[in-house]
Amino acid sequence: MPSSNSMEGLELSELPIKVGIIGTGCIGKEHVRNICLMPDVARVVALVDSCEASMKSCTELLPSFQDVATFTNVESMIDWVNEGKDMADHDGRLKAQCEAVVIATPNYTHFSIIREVLFKSSLHILVEKPLCTNVQDCKQVEKWIREDRVKHPRRVVWVGMEYKYIPSVSRLLQEVEKGSVGRVKMVSIREHRFPFLTKVGYWNRFNELSGGTLVEKCCHFFDLMRQIVKSDPVTRWHAVKRRQVLTWVCEGENHCLWRTGRRVQVRSVLSQWADGGQRRRNPAAGILASGGCGRQLRQDVLHEAGYH
């Protein structure tokens, strides 16, 4: 997702793409700002949010709010899209009043919104990470998308992992690709940040709503590791909590899940990858723990890998 040929049907004559933003919180606003920087490529035509304050602050970012439809739920927006499917523009061509949506709602709502958009419209979809909060839902969405290819072969469904497009990260990937750093032997990523952004209802502070730290935040770093080493994880993820080691079976690139109801203090995260290498993520700021067990785990992994 998206498929390699998924953009073949998009021609310059069809620009700008008409985009609906589902979720007008801080991430939704970021998408609105970016779209407004590219008026010849895309423009916002619809906003969806049940929070009046979020909707109001988001509309203030738009240069011409009069041309934007607003809705309090996804069902109403899709009804509006479908009602306008048969409307022709001034030169007689059929042209949808919305062609794509960005899903920037809380993680736990992604599954139901994707289902609504896939089953009831032909809209392209950019869903913010994570795709879903658990493996079962991710697999179900993948199944829906495969089945949808028969009816909508050119529909694009894309999970938004945008860190790789940050200029500094993009430059890093370019330099690695050129061989400027030599052959990559290990990748370790450290981020310094405060623990939680302020969200409506503080949903991001609960594992059952966010999917947990490994899903909500560390998925960015797992994606960057994949980009850097050109390899996928195939066996296990490990996280250290004081003197207890917790293990997850990794079943795919977006299926790395936190399997505890409590907030876990992570010292390091390690994984075995398809090319036989190890990657380590060392988070900071709010998810640090005592180092004794972390050091032991790293020693054990290095020993198993043949580094004595």
pLDDT tens digit string along 148-205? 999 999 999 999 888 898 899 999 999 999 999 888 888 888 777 766 777 887 787 8
Query: Which position has the higher pLDDT, 41 or 292?
Result: 41
Rounded CA-CA distance 232/223 in Å is: 9
Q: Do the Cβ atoms of 27 and 54 come closer than 8 Å?
A: no
Name the token pair of 196: 């939680």
E strands, 66-136, are 69-71, 100-103, 124-128
Task: Please determine, for residue 306, whether its predicted confidence score (pLDDT) is greater than 70.
Answer: no
pLDDT at 278: 57
Say whether pTM exceeds 0.75: no
What are the pLDDT digits (tens) for 251-290? 333 333 333 333 333 344 555 555 656 555 544 322 222 2
- Residues near 276 by beta carbon (within 8 Å), at least 6 away in sequence: none
β-strand partners of 19: 44, 100
Task: Please determine, for residue 32, whether its predicted confidence score (pLDDT) is greater than 80.
Answer: yes
Percent pLDDT > 70 in the chain is 67
